[in-house]
Structure 1
Amino acid sequence: MDRLRPWRRISGQLTTLIGESGFCALLGRALRTLAVRYEWLSVDSTRKSIDGLLGALERDLAGTDNAVADIANAELLNTFTRQLSTLIGEALTARLLAHATALEQDGPEDVQEHK
């Protein structure tokens, strides 16, 4: 199971809208918020790239129990989504996430149909 697949899809969608630094800022803030509950989540403000943040997240999730990792990842996605919604509005957030979900379900060969 690839827990980072939704993050890759979302980052691909959002970087055109808010840039890599905007995505990283939102993800970093979501990580800091949840690190209070999940102390094993890496919070490193020097990571300024999507690859760096997602690589650390992948290592963190792999280093804990699968059930806990799944719950923490879902909470992180939820926290990130709420923050994004505050930034760009609920309607646009829902539209972007629906598109990313459609890409996830369709697979890479169907990406062109959604553009």
Structure 2
Amino acid sequence: MEVALTPVIGQQGVVALYRRSLHLCGAAHPRLTSTCNKVPSGMVLTALNSVLVEQNEADARFFGEMLLTTFYELLTTLIGPSLTARLLRGVWDSSLSDTHSQENSP
């Protein structure tokens, strides 16, 4: 997502959107507050990954879904639904095809 969005909103814009998404996830879902607070500032995905592996699978999945949904909704309010869908279409398509192949593997 960072690669797709940086040309449009800049690297600082992507980081700000990510941080805001983390904040809103914690505010909307109190069970995520401690997880959100553990994620360091900046968009360092390895740091996010290290926080997620500490969670059980259900909590990590819930957190990821809420974070992505919130990020998408914030971006939509910033640049509109049509541009958001066009920019992230390749990201979602790639992500969905990766998940599908993992689910079908023996």
2:58 equivalent to 1:63:
no
What is the rounded CA distance, in whole Å, between the counterparts of 2:76 and 2:35 in structure 1? Answer: 26
2:96 equivalent to 1:96:
no
2:75–2:84 Cα contact (<8 Å) kept:
yes
What is the rounded CA distance, in whole Å, between the counterparts of 1:62 and 1:97 in structure 2? Answer: 25
Higher relative contact order (CA 8 A, sep 6+): 1
Name the counterpart of 1:4.
none
Question: Of the candidates 67, 70, 77, which is equivalent to residue 68 of structure 2?
Answer: 77
Name the counterpart of 1:32.
23
CA deviation vs aligned residue, 1:28-48 (integer Å, no higher than 9, x gap): 00101112321222354xx34
Question: Which structure 1 residue ranges, 5 or more long, are not aligned?
Answer: 1-9, 107-115
- Alpha-carbon offset, residue 16 of structure 1: 1.5
Q: TM-score, normalised by structure 1?
A: 0.71
Q: TM-score, normalised by structure 2?
A: 0.76
Q: How many residues align?
A: 92
Percent identity between matched residues is 35
- Alpha-carbon offset, residue 102 of structure 1: 2.9
SS of equivalent residue, structure 2 residue 35 = coil
RMSD of aligned residue pairs (Cα, Å):
1.8
Question: Which structure 2 residue ranges, 5 or more long, are not aligned?
Answer: 99-106
1:28–1:43 Cα contact (<8 Å) kept:
no
1:11–1:23 Cα contact (<8 Å) kept:
yes
Structure 2 vs 1, CA of residues 62 and 43 (structure 1 numbering), >3 Å: closer, same or farther? Answer: closer
- Alpha-carbon offset, residue 15 of structure 1: 1.1
- Alpha-carbon offset, residue 21 of structure 1: 0.6
Q: Larger helix proportion, structure 1 or 2?
A: 2
